[in-house]
Each structure stands twice: as C-alpha cells, then as structure tokens.
Amino acid sequence: MSTEITNILLVGVGGQGILLASEILSETCMLAGYDVKKSEIHGMSQRGGSVVSHVRYGTKVFSPIVPEGEGDILFGFELMETCRSLSLLKPGGSVIANDLRIPPPSVLMGQESYPEGLANSINNRFSDFLLVDGQKLATEAGNPRAANTVLLGAVSKRLAIAEEFWLAALQKMVPAKALEINFKAFMLGRGLE
C-alpha cells in the first residue's frame, strides 16, 4: 500500500446519486484498509443545484478537502458541472463523465444557452477522458437511476482496489431490493474502456 493520497472529486447536480456514490466509494476504500476522509458541498442540491463531494484516501489522510489542482480523478455526473470543476484536477488527471446535460435554471428561463462541445473541450485538456452513457447502461441494468453506479464501475477501473471490496461496499450501502440492478450497473461501468 503506497503512502500517497488519492484525491477523487464527484460533481454533478442534486438528485443524481452523488452522495450515495461517494458513500460507496468511501466504504470501498475503508474495506480495502485505507484511511478515508470525505466532504460534501451542496449548492441548493435538492433543487438541482451543484453538488461536489471530495473523497481522499491513503495510509493517513488529515484533511477531507482536495486542494485545487491536486485531484487525481474527476468523476462527473453532468457535463457542464464536470467542466466547471476541471481546475480541481492536476495535470494528467483522469476524467470520467456522464454524457448527460441538465440545463440550469438560467438556461431553462432562456437567459443563457447550454454550452456546446463540452466533451471535446474536456478531451482536449485531459488525455485520460472517458465519456459514459450512464443512463443507457443503467437502463440496460434495469433502472436508469443506477447511472451513478455505472459511473462508479467506470471509476473503479482507475483505482488499484480489488473488485471484492467494491461489491462488498455496494452490498452494505445499497438497499436489498435494488442490489441486483446496482451490481449489474457497476459491472457494466467496470467493463468500459
């Protein structure tokens, strides 16, 4: 086990399952024997506002907040929120983003337009970029609301943590009635390259 700290940021809008995904990620890291710190920032999250969750793990972690420019992985649930958070990543960081656009209120009210070409913009800045159709894969697994678990599966491939710890954390954190669908969603995400 290395002594360095791994910094992961989860970003999106309220209602996308970001907090559950950060809980599962944190639990997985703890089951694998790491010290874990987690913090969330909610901006009107219940009304579709921005949500950012910081998860840091390693041998010993003192602060839950990922310093700006030191993120290893940006795990984006919505494209514009992913782009807004790119400055938190270090050069050479990884970006896993859901191919989903949720227009903010200013766009819905016609005051602004949703920016075009966000995925290309991310791809031009970060060579390790994976764009995931989370809703499509989650629907394949049995429930479009399991997109967060699809994304978690994709992120899991970039972390040196055994699959058994991920599955154990899912089993502990996901309600029994939704477990089978979430296992399928996770494995679909884990199978992405």
- This prediction has a pTM of 0.92
β-pairing verdict for 128-132 and 50-58: unpaired
Q: Is the pLDDT reported for residue 1 higher than 50?
A: no
Burial class (CB in 10 A: 0-12, 13-18, 19+), 24: buried
The pLDDT tens digits of the residues spanning 142-182 come to: 999 999 999 999 999 999 999 999 999 999 999 999 999 99
Fold annotation for 6-190 = Pyruvate-ferredoxin Oxidoreductase; domain 3 (3.40.920)
Three-state SS at 35: strand
pLDDT at position 193 is 72
Spell out the domain ranges in the chain.
Answer: 6-190
